[in-house]
Amino acid sequence: MVNRQAKSGLLADADFLVSPHFDDRPSDVDIDLLVIHCISLPPEQYGADYVEDFFLGKLDCSLHPYFQKLISVRVSAHLYIRRNGRVIQFVPFAKRAWHAGLSEFEGQVRCNDFSIGIELEGDVNHPYTAAQYQCLTTVTREIQIRYPLITQARITGHSDIAPYRKDDPGPHFDWQHYFACLNSKADQ
C-alpha cells in the first residue's frame, strides 16, 4: 500500500529522483486530470536507466543513435512505473511536470497545468505487465484520495490529449482491465 505524504506531494513508497524539468503550476487551477503515457529508451528496449537519466537531464546522447534526437528535449513525469512495478517519482504532485506538451482535454489547453503524468516503461507495440497494472492501480487510488476531482472520466491517455502528435499508451494498454482493477480496489 502506498503511504500518504500529502504535504510533500510525494509517495512514501516511491523512489524519489529530483528532475530539473518542472516548474510551478498556475495558482488558479485545480489538479483534476491524470494522463497515462509510455516510454522506453531506446524504443522497445527495457531495463536500462536511460529513461531516468532522460528525466534527470543527464542522458548521454552519444550512447545510442536514437538519443541524438533527444539532445535538446526537456521533459519529465510525476511518476514512472518500471516493468517490474518499481515506482519512481521525479516531480512532486503539486508541481507542474513537463509531460503533456501541446495538449487539450475537453476544451482546456495546456494539460500540464492541471494534470498528473504517469509514464509506464513500455511502448505502443507490446503489452504492459501485471506488476505495472497493480502499481498503477495503487498509485491512481492514492492520487484520487489526494485529488478527488480526478474521477475515472478524467483519466486519459497521452494520445487522447495530443492525438496528432502522440499514440501512447497505445493499443496494448488494457483500459478495461485497468478500470476494473481501479473499481475493484475502490470497493475494498
Catalytic member of 44, 104, 119, 121: 119
How far apart are alpha carbons 79 and 148 in whole angstroms?
18
Active site residue 44: no
Cis peptide before 42 (omega within 30 of 0): yes
At residue 64, the 3 state secondary structure works out as: coil
Q: How far is CA 58 from CA 62, 89, 167, in A?
A: 12, 16, 26
In this structure, the strands spanning 10-11 and 104-105 are: unpaired
Nine cell digits for residue 173:
494498454
Query: Where in the sequence numbering do the catalytic residues fall?
Result: 119
